[in-house]
Chains A and B, each alone.
Chain A
């Protein structure tokens, strides 16, 4: 292992993910896509943690043929 480690822990008994960058930055997220985006932004981790998807973004988009 080289030390350039990104870690995402899924906290037992909880639905949250905790991400930790090799630079020491830490944040929590509710799902993995936002978690990786935040971690992989190193060294520019967005302040305030991973974007929390708003209600609209959690609704499935209509199938492509209806768009």
Chain B
């Protein structure tokens, strides 16, 4: 049932980034009239809002002597940012509009600017050739900004390469072991999965439908269900950045109606954005949207606290794994079994996108 599989470094799991893609850089709430910086795919990017509220994204390194524009005493004046070192001043498009002591601004004095879009509560930034941005899809996570849904969210820094988080999220059987007592129950690891790859759309689907399972505390405490449940986990991963887990929880045996309506189930949309920071570190954005107990702050607090705990369990494990892998020679061995079908599909799709 098992077979040796060359390790990450042989099997297309190198650490380079997929170019010419949209990545989640921040939550919209993080970008304000204060200067904000985040490194995405190795590029340090400065974000701020214009007076009219539009998000701008440009290099966080002054063209003069490389001082970070996010660093005090750099500051905004209207719709310009003034470098805190010698005063080079840049507009919202990154073009330098003033330098100290002379009236002529060198023509090449401009910051690299990045295509940026606000969508589904995220700030998406395009890494690669800007000419390709308009024709490259931005995957959707509509529940994060939709009436009828309540969302809790956060971001945890991960000191591990993004591919380790992809592996982790594509194989939820680990919930049973790493997250027992939170979201894991024996049935998760025991239940077979169906994996689908849509080559044209560039999406990997992994489904695990548990007909009769124990209800883990995460769902018992948020939904109020006390007995056994029918638990569906439908993963939809759009490499490289956006991961959705469509989670359906209902009392055991309760199924959706023929017409597709599903009034007796609880729906939770778990969203992750997997954004490489550097080759060995990742921004682990997580969000949990629900269609029940919409105004119940206790439920919000509980889900936020529990999901963060679960994310931090993964972070601890993957931080450790990164150290181990980084210290091993290229071509170390790993061994894949049936539970890895989805993770392997994701790796292959990412390798294909990167090498295209």
Contacts and interface: CB of A to CB of B under 8 A. Distances in A.
Interface of A: 1-12, 15, 17, 30-36, 40, 53, 57-61, 63-65
Interface string B1-29: 11111000000000000000000000000
Given A17-B338, A31-B336, A36 B345 contact: yes
A17 B337 CA distance: 10
B200 A33 contact: no
Nearest to A14: B192
Nearest to A15: B1
A31 B338 contact: yes
B332 A64 contact: yes
B338 A32 contact: yes
Given A4-B199, A35-B341, 4 more contacts: A2-B199, A7-B197, A8-B345, A32-B341
18 contacts: A2-B199, A3-B200, A5-B197, A7-B194, A8-B194, A8-B196, A9-B194, A10-B338, A31-B3, A31-B338, A32-B337, A32-B340, A33-B336, A35-B341, A57-B4, A59-B4, A60-B335, A61-B333
B355 interface: no
Question: Which 4 residue pairs are nearest across A and B when measured between Cβ atoms?
Answer: A10-B192, A2-B200, A32-B341, A4-B200
Given A33-B344, A57-B3, A7 B333 contact: no
Q: How large is the interface on B (under 10, 10 to 19, 20 to 34, 35 or more residues)?
A: 20 to 34
Given A10-B338, A35-B341, A58 B333 contact: no
Contact of B2 (A3, A10, A31, A35): A31
Contacts of B336: 31-33
Chain B contact residues, majority secondary structure = mixed
Contacts of A17: 338, 341
B323 interface: no
B347 to A, nearest CB: 9
A8 B341 contact: yes
B148 interface: no
A1 B203 CA distance: 9
A61 B5 CA distance: 10
A40 B348 contact: yes
Nearest to B337: A31
B196 A5 contact: yes
A7 B336 CA distance: 18
B198 A5 contact: yes
Nearest to A13: B192
Given A17-B338, A36-B344, A60-B333, A7 B196 contact: yes
Contact of A6 (B196, B328, B332, B340): B196
B329 interface: yes
B335 A10 contact: no
Nearest to B343: A32
A19 B222 CA distance: 37
Contacts of B199: 2, 4-6
B193 interface: yes
Contacts of A12: 192
Contacts of A53: 3-4
A65 B328 CA distance: 10
A34 B193 contact: no
A4 B329 CA distance: 37
Contacts of B134: none
Nearest to B1: A15
Contacts of A6: 196-197, 199, 345
B131 interface: no
B13 to A, nearest CB: 13
A61 to B, nearest CB: 6
